[in-house]
Structure 1
Amino acid sequence: MVVTRFAPSPTGYLHIGGLRTALFSYLWARKNSGKFVLRIEDTDKARNSAEATEAILKAFEWLGLEHDGEITYQSKRDDIYAKYIQQLLDEGKAYKCYMSREELDALREQQMANKERTKYNGKYRDFKGKAPEGVEPVIRIKAPLSGEIIVHDGVKGDVVFQAEDILDDFVIARADGSPTYNFVVAIDDALMGINEVIRGDDHLSNTPKQIVVYKALGFEIPTFYHVPMIHNAQGKKLSKRDGATDVMAYKEMGYLPEALLNFLVRLGWSHGDQEIFSIDEMKELFNPKDINKSASIYNTEKLDWLNAHYIKNTPNEKLVELLNDFGVVLMSHDKKEILLDALKERAKTLKELANMINEILQAPTSYDEKAVKKAFKGEPFPILEAFIIKLQDAQTLHLPSDYHHLMQELVDEMEIGFGKIGMPLRVALLGKMGGPNIDVIMAVIGKDETIKRVQNAIATNS
């Protein structure tokens, strides 16, 4: 059975790159009817944030990435790590190192002066003498001094590391007894049955050390997939400005979870020329072996395009619910279907959709100067006043077509072009150019509000 995991450190927000590896891990587990587990790597007590942990969990809930079983917290597993540290000491596979910070710094300075790679020199690897007083030892694992460590990677192929070039006897427990990252990751993955590890390729340099731990403890080594990073359009590391922001900020900006997941799955993975993927299609088609070997490029326009697609195809009932988060309450509005059908074709985000709705439902408090000059040149006010009379005399005005017919009657009677009523009426209703069809706006706000706005525009601009 395939068992994958996502293991964030709660020292900051969940960013888009982390979410992508979580999605890949989730999809691969679901495709294989396996397990996807969530582990919070909170051993860094000085930098951990309860708010960051909460944000990670909220992001998973919003996106619908359900994990299997209870969440594992590394901070609650100290006894487990201590047990395996002692096992390695007892078996002679690890040892206590009494080198002081001053000694270690002096060693590194000498190595740098000699243009050598800085590393621990193994002074206490086979130490038999009396331990120096006043120094709390760290615990170091006995790493291989020569030979190769091969990472069998599902994305990159076999990656070969020369032991003498990359390894020294790295620390697995600090002087205060707290275990180090590469040690606890290997322990947890093994004990949790993680057999497929999908993560960013910034972790590739950690993998040989973790393999050393696996081998020392006799654990089975999982299959690794190291995913290339996400870059901005200039090919550089993402910044907050590019999109490397808190995942929940995407919700606040008005993106749908379906759109964000669809966007992420296409960053580094493809299935022919297909661009739109439902979550079920992702589960069916995704395979980490098909992940691109090169970095992906973050493209905001692509995300907006996908989000617009999903908004357009979201049922109005669901949109009404989602828009509540943006201060737009449409539940009891009798023209909400007309309103949403007209606007959701035009919106890239829910926030943008909410702004469009508010522009229609809220009477303009000011009028765009350029729009006024263009729309109100000539003699627009007699035309608008004639239209007010028609509105007042009309008995049944419900649908956009009812208002359109009324406008057409006026155009025919006054023998004018449609623009003569259309442009000034639009500015009167919205205070600007642009927006959906005028007949839609009038049908949504109703006869009385339409008359009121036109009268106010005449009074303000004549």
Structure 2
Amino acid sequence: MSVRVRFAPSPTGFMHVGNARTALFNYLFARHHGGKFVLRIEDTDVERHNEEAVKVIYEALRWMGLNWDEGPDVGGPYSPYRQSERLDIYREFIDKLKEKGLVYECFCTQEELDRMRKEQLERGEPPRYTGKCRNLTEEEKERLRAEGRKPVLRFKVPEDRVVKFNDLIKGEIEISSRQLGGDFVIVRSNGMPVYNFVVVVDDALMKITHVIRGEDHISNTPKQILLYEALGFEPPQFAHLPMILGPDRSKLSKRHGSTSVREFREKGYLPEAFVNFLALLGWYPKDGKEILSMDELIEKFDIKEVNSAPAVFDTTKLNWMNQVYIRNYPIDKLTDLIIPYLEKAGFDLSQFDREWLEKVVEVTREYFTVLSDAPTYMEVFLKDDFEVEPQAKEFISEDPNRLKVIELFLEKLENLEGELSSDSFKRLVKEVGKELGVKGKNLFMPIRIGLTGRMSGVELPVLVELLGKERVLRRLKNSLSKIK
């Protein structure tokens, strides 16, 4: 049997971490088995539909490297892949249920339903639709229509039926039909079919073999199985992924920080690191290796090894993983990704050549956690007219010799013949130390302050070699004028 899975988001908000993990696990499962990964847009909720969110879904999946085989923009043998374009198909299957006598019109108002629910709760019963409209006569229906009531269509849930299914992650699950809340709605009063109905029709017609989704859908599964049976379809296999929790073990939400894929992208997480991290939310390779390329994830991924317990979103681990990827990323690609952050921070990069910029990225990248850190650590290479930090000025003022170190170093540099290299820099510093009788912090810190205005940063020989003699001279004169 050829594996076919689908990622079917509702474009009512933005691509959340939970959606992204669901998409990834479907993709890995499909690729591991040489199957098809289908993208379907579930946009029947007209009131909450957001077309901008559709673009965000495409953008997020492409950024993560999850390319779909079939979908709204690429087509496929089971198109259309947007539910709003499949309404005629759904009507055909609604008619089939009507012919079989498995559905009926319900005219209950929201107020009546609320009252029904309230009374049940007061009696200590779980809320469920009582079937009040199940046996209405045609005359009663006509009278209710005359009142201006628009009916919904409800599916008749069989009494005392136990729905069983084998979940690939959770194992054997049994749910009594009495726990389903009574006869459920499959078509709204505005004529629009609802999720539980359309998803069954779509998955059946698109030959979906495995439905991999969040465990919040477990309660929907028995309703869908009843609909598969009613329509004469073979249900797919189900796998319900564990919830993703924040570090405090409550459901992951905005208060834990970023939760949308776009936010992680904008902060400067590399897609490879983000995907690698998501893959380990609920699944772990047998060999314990954590840094895994997409090809390795595809090769090793096994849905049966997914843990049924909730997964904790650990930002510290994501940061560590991103640092590992940044340090090993091809320098040309990394520079391409960093340039927009530098431009946004206001740096004019036209004055620097590309080869030089790549060298700066190379010597600073070990300090980055995310790409948006780049302006902070690269500023020292890009900006000659800097302010001297207050604590640095204070350090210089504590000992007259410290100012003399900067002045003597400047004098020796002005007399240096040829270019300034790492070796000639070390030689000049040694001469300054010898002549003034200073060493250690009292020698190197004043020079660092003279060159950067700061008391910490990259190694000075690396800095001066990349800056060159003219820029070092300019910096020393600039900082001396500000210290004095």
TM-score normalised over the length of structure 1: 0.95
Distance (Å, rounded) in 2 between the aligned partners of 1:335 and 1:103: 73
Aligned pair 1:384/2:406, yes or no? yes
Aligned partner of 1:437 among 451, 455, 459 = 459
Q: Which runs of 5+ in 2 are unaligned?
A: 73-80, 344-348
Kept in 2, the 8 Å contact 1:238–1:244? The answer is: no
The amino acid of 2:15's aligned partner reads L
| Residue matched to 1:41 | 42
Q: Residue 96 of structure 1 aligns with which residue?
A: 105
- Measure the CA separation in 2 of the matches of 1:386 and 1:288: 68
SS in 1 for 2:218: helix
Query: Is 1:294 paired with 2:320?
Result: no
Give the equivalent residue in structure 2 for 1:307: 322
Question: Aligned to 2:442, which of 412, 420, 423?
Answer: 420
The amino acid that maps onto 2:274 is: L
Cα displacement (A) at 1:344: 1.1
Structure 1 residues 426 and 225: CA distance shift in structure 2, 3 A: same
Name 2:384's counterpart in structure 1: 363
Amino acid at match of 2:4: V
User: Does the 8 A contact of 1:232 with 1:298 survive in 2?
Assistant: yes
Q: Structure 1's 375 and 82: CA in aligned 2 closer, same or farther, altered over 3 A? A: farther
Gaps in structure 1 of 5+ consecutive residues: none
CA distance in 2, matches of 1:363, 1:43: 57
- Quote how far apart the aligned CAs of 1:409 are: 4.1
Distance in 1 separating the partners of 2:427 and 2:335: 29
**Pairing of 1:4-403 with structure 2 (within 5 A):** 4-71=5-72, 72-130=81-139, 131-133=141-143, 134=145, 135-272=149-286, 273-328=288-343, 329=349, 332-363=353-384, 365-378=386-399, 379-397=401-419, 399-403=421-425
- Matched to 1:139, the amino acid is L
Partner of 2:75 in structure 1? none
Deviation at 1:258, TM superposition (A): 0.6
Would the aligned equivalents of 2:5 and 2:209 in 1 still touch at CA under 8 Å? yes
Q: Which residue of 2 aligns with 1:449?
A: 471
Per-residue CA distance 1:12-38 (angstroms, 9 max, x = gap) = 110111101111111110111111111
The letter for the 2-side match of 1:358 is E
SS of structure 2 residue aligned to 1:371: helix
- The code of the aligned residue for 1:340 comes to V
Equivalent pair of 1:145/1:167 in contact (CA under 8 Å): no
What amino acid maps onto 1:447 in structure 2? K
Q: Is the 8 A contact 2:7 2:38 kept in 1?
A: yes
Q: Are the structure 2 counterparts of residues 167 and 107 from structure 1 closer, same or farther at C-alpha, using a change threshold of 3 Å?
A: closer
- In 2, the alpha carbon distance for the partners of 1:359 and 1:403 equals 18
1:408 Cα deviation from its structure 2 partner: 3.3
Deviates more, 1:332-341 or 1:256-265: 332-341
Distance 1:383 1:45, change over 3 A: same
Deviation at 1:125, TM superposition (A): 2.8
Q: 1:154 to 1:427 in 2, by over 3 A?
A: same
Shift of the alpha carbon at 1:83?
A: 1.2
Cα distance in 2 for partners of 1:8, 1:96 equals 29
Aligned partner letter, 2:412? K
Letter in 1 for 2:467: I
Identity %: 39
Q: Measured at CA, do residues 351 and 452 of structure 1 come closer, stay the same or move farther in structure 2, by a change above 3 Å?
A: same
Tell me the number of residue pairs that the alignment of Structure 1 and Structure 2 aligns: 462
Q: Deviations over 1:129-155 (max 9, x none)?
A: 422422322111121211211131111
Q: Secondary structure at the match of 1:327?
A: helix
Query: Cα distance, 1:205 vs. partner?
Result: 1.0
Asked if structure 1 preserves the Cα contact closer than 8 Å seen for 2:388 and 2:482, the reply is: no
Note closer, same or farther for the CA distance 1:334–1:121 as it changes in structure 2 (3 Å cut). Answer: closer
Is residue 26–residue 36 contact of structure 1 (8 Å, CA) maintained in 2?
yes
Q: Distance in 2 between matches of 1:434 and 1:199?
A: 49
TM-score (norm 2): 0.90
For the residues of structure 2 that align with 1:338 and 1:416, how far apart are their CA atoms? Answer: 32
The CA RMSD over aligned residues, in Å, is 1.9
* Equivalent position SS for 1:198: strand
1:454–1:157: structure 2 CA closer, same or farther, 3 Å change rule? same
Counterpart Cα distance in 2 of 1:416 and 1:204: 72
In structure 1, the residue matched to 2:429 is 407
Residues 335 and 358 in structure 2, CA contact (< 8 A), matched pair in contact too = no
Is the contact between residue 17 and residue 244 of structure 1 (CA under 8 Å) also seen in structure 2?
no
1:317: how far off?
A: 0.8
Distance 1:241 1:107 in 2: 36
In the TM superposition, residue 398 of structure 1 has moved relative to its aligned partner by: 5.6
2:405·2:447 contact (CA, 8 Å) conserved in 1?
no
SS at match of 2:219: helix
Q: Which amino acid aligns with 2:393?
A: V
The one-letter code sitting in structure 2 at the alignment partner of 1:283 is I
Distance 2:47 2:462 in 1: 57
Query: 1-side partners of 2:54 and 2:229: how far apart?
Result: 32
1:108 offset after TM fit, Å? Answer: 2.6
Alpha-carbon shift at residue 102 of structure 1 (Å): 4.1
Is contact 1:335-1:443 (8 Å) kept? no
